[in-house]
Every structure is written in structure tokens, then in C-alpha cells.
């Protein structure tokens, strides 16, 4: 093979690799995830793929490992004393638990919104939005544009645009949760994890958060833990049903498109749960 032909083949191979990366449809993937707290095994053998720009709902009774699992997806799990993990979490094709991966970088790309709104109450609304940038050391200009864009994306801009210098503690619970979402969006995450983000909110605020989730999923991948079956149906594209027998670790019983999980589940336990017969 001539030098010119070799160079042509190398360029072709490079183009194929680049094309494969661009066309990858899976944003994240959990492979055989098992979790321990000390000697107690709380999750076993979880395998889930999360397609790009979709919403995946994690459902199941309390205590079956949903919140534990979602925390493994951006390495928050490892911050708990005595916690251990086996398996791998792939993000853009690379295991986030490899030694050369910076967990701080991972948590910027894979953001988290918790069950209870946690803005900095004495900090201004504007300051809260920009706090993630400052804490992470990210250098971004056009702060005014970032504040407007993220608050708009979180469905909050029209409600607070004239009081950006007011304390975040003055907002209602639902507004605070949307502010937290805006704060997470300011660092440009590719994935947003949400651990029961509406459980402490009234129905009107819940509806606004759900509208925000559907709008955000046009651009980013969302994974949400919820005990609200109607909410899972309304917001998610895919659903994974977790279950744990007494004194046994949690596991995924069934997963697939939300329409199938709720309309035509293959496991009787899934059918019983989504129809409110237990849990």
C-alpha cells in the first residue's frame, strides 16, 4: 500500500469513528450496577440504557434502591461513608468510575435536582443561577444572557424577571425548585437527574415542573425518580420498575417504553404495581 493510500485509509477510519460518536443514540448506560452500604447489599445487577434527549422514569416502592441508583449516575453515591459499587456507568461511551475521570467534571455534565428545593435562601435569584458557575470555576461571560436563558428554560423567567435581586428564600416552593433547575442548567449539563422533584410541591407547581421537564428533554437527557404513576406516564418516554423483596437488594423487574410498561407489562408484579395493588 502506498503512503497516499495509507493516509486515505487512516482518514476514512477517523471519519467513521467521528460519525459513530455523532450518531450514538445512547447518552448513558448502567451496566450490571450493584451497590453496598457497608455489608448490606441494596442494589443488584441493574442494567439500563438512557437514550439521548429522552425522559426515563424510575418507579417502584420506597426502599427498593431508586434514589441510591440515580446517585450512582454522577458519582454522588461514593460520597456516602461505607458505600461501595460494582459494575460501570458509561457516559458518552466512557466509564465515569475510571481512575482518570474527574468526578467534579462528571457532576457538571450530569446535574442533580433533589427532592427538596435547595437554593441558597439568602442569595439573590440571580446569584443562585450563577452560583454553579462560580463554584465550579467555569469561565463564562454574558451572565445576563445566561440568567435569562436558564430561567426561561426552567419556566421561571416571566415570574421573576423584575426581581432578580430579591432573595431566593422569598420564592414559593415550586419557584425555588425551578430556580434550582435553572442553576443546574447554567453549567450546560448533558444529563439532568431528578430525585422526586415534585414530591413536596402542590399540584399547580407540579404541573409547571412537568412542563419544564418535557421542554428540557428536547435538548438534554432526563432521568427522574417518581412515586407518582400519573407523572411517570405524563413526562417519560421510558420507564424502569424497581423492586426489592424483604431483606433482599433492589433490582429492575421490567423496563421499556412507558406506554408498554403501563399499558402492556410483561411481569405480573409490574401490572400490580402500576395499578396500585401494592407500594
Please give the backbone phi and psi of residue 155, each rounded to the nearest 5 degrees, phi first: 70, 30
Q: Evaluate if residue 155 carries a pLDDT over 50.
A: yes
Task: Judge contact between 231 and 59, C-beta under 8 A.
Answer: no
Band (pLDDT 50/70/90 cuts) for residue 137 is confident
Band (pLDDT 50/70/90 cuts) for residue 132 is confident
Cell reading at 158: 416571566
Q: In degrees to the nearest 10, what's the CA dihedral of 32, 33, 34, 38? A: 150
Q: Evaluate if residue 19 carries a pLDDT over 80.
A: no
133 to each of 113, 141, 183, how far by Cα in Å?
Answer: 16, 10, 9
Percent of the chain having pLDDT more than 90?
82
Residue 204 lies in a domain: yes
Residue 217 lies in a domain: yes
pLDDT at 258: 98
Rounded-to-integer distance, Cα 78 and Cα 98, Å? 13
Residue 12 lies in a domain: no
Q: Which helix (H) or strand (E) is 274 found in, with range?
A: helix 268-274
Band (pLDDT 50/70/90 cuts) for residue 20 is very low
pLDDT in tens, 48-71: 999 999 999 999 999 999 999 999
Residue 125 lies in a domain: yes
Residue 15 lies in a domain: no
pLDDT at 24: 55
Residues in the chain: 279
Rounded-to-integer distance, Cα 9 and Cα 5, Å? 6
pLDDT in tens, 210-238: 999 999 999 999 999 999 999 999 999 99
Number of domains in the chain: 1
Residue 18 lies in a domain: no
Cell reading at 79: 460520597
What b/e readout covers 161-183, taking b as 16+ CB neighbours within 10 angstroms? Answer: eeebeebbeebeebbbbbbbbbb
pLDDT in tens, 28-51: 999 999 999 999 999 999 999 999
pLDDT at 229: 96
pLDDT at 12: 55
Q: What is the CATH number of the domain that holds 84?
A: 3.40.50.300
pLDDT at 60: 97
Residue 3 lies in a domain: no
Least confident of 3-12, 59-68, 102-111, 215-224: 3-12
Burial of 67 (0-12, 13-18, 19+ CB in 10 A): middle
Residue 39: which domain range?
A: 24-274
pLDDT at 8: 52
pLDDT in tens, 248-278: 999 999 999 999 999 999 999 999 999 998 8
Cell reading at 105: 467534571
Residue 114 lies in a domain: yes
Amino acid at each position: 500500500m502506498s503512503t497516499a493510500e495509507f493516509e486515505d485509509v487512516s482518514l476514512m477510519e477517523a471519519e467513521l469513528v467521528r460519525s459513530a460518536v455523532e450518531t450514538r443514540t445512547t447518552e448513558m448506560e448502567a451496566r450490571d450496577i450493584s451497590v453496598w452500604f457497608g455489608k448490606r447489599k441494596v442494589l443488584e445487577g441493574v442494567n439500563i440504557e438512557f437514550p439521548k434527549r429522552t425522559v426515563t422514569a424510575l418507579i417502584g416502592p420506597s426502599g427498593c434502591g431508586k434514589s441510591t441508583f440515580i446517585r450512582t449516575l454522577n458519582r454522588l453515591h461514593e460520597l456516602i461513608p461505607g458505600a461501595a459499587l460494582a459494575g460501570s456507568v458509561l457516559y458518552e461511551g466512557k466509564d465515569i468510575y475510571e481512575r482518570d475521570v474527574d468526578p467534579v467534571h462528571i457532576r457538571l455534565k450530569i446535574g442533580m435536582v433533589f427532592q427538596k428545593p435547595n437554593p441558597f435562601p439568602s442569595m439573590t435569584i440571580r446569584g443562585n443561577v450563577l452560583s454553579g458557575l462560580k463554584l465550579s470555576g467555569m469561565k463564562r461571560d454574558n451572565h445576563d444572557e445566561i440568567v435569562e436563558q436558564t430561567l426561561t428554560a426552567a419556566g421561571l423567567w416571566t415570574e421573576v424577571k423584575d426581581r432578580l435581586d430579591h432573595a431566593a428564600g422569598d420564592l414559593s416552593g415550586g419557584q425555588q425548585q425551578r430556580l434550582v433547575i435553572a442553576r443546574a442548567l447554567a453549567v450546560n449539563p448533558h444529563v439532568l437527574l431528578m430525585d422526586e422533584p415534585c414530591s413536596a410541591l402542590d399540584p399547580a407547581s407540579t404541573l409547571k415542573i412537568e412542563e419544564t421537564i418535557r421542554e428540557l428533554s428536547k435538548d438534554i437527557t432526563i432521568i427522574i425518580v417518581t412515586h407518582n404513576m400519573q407523572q411517570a406516564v405524563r413526562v417519560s418516554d421510558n420507564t424502569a420498575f424497581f423492586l426489592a423483596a424483604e431483606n433482599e437488594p433492589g433490582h429492575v423487574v421490567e423496563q421499556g417504553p412507558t406506554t408498554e410498561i403501563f399499558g402492556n407489562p410483561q411481569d405480573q408484579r409490574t401490572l400490580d404495581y402500576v395499578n396500585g395493588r401494592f407500594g
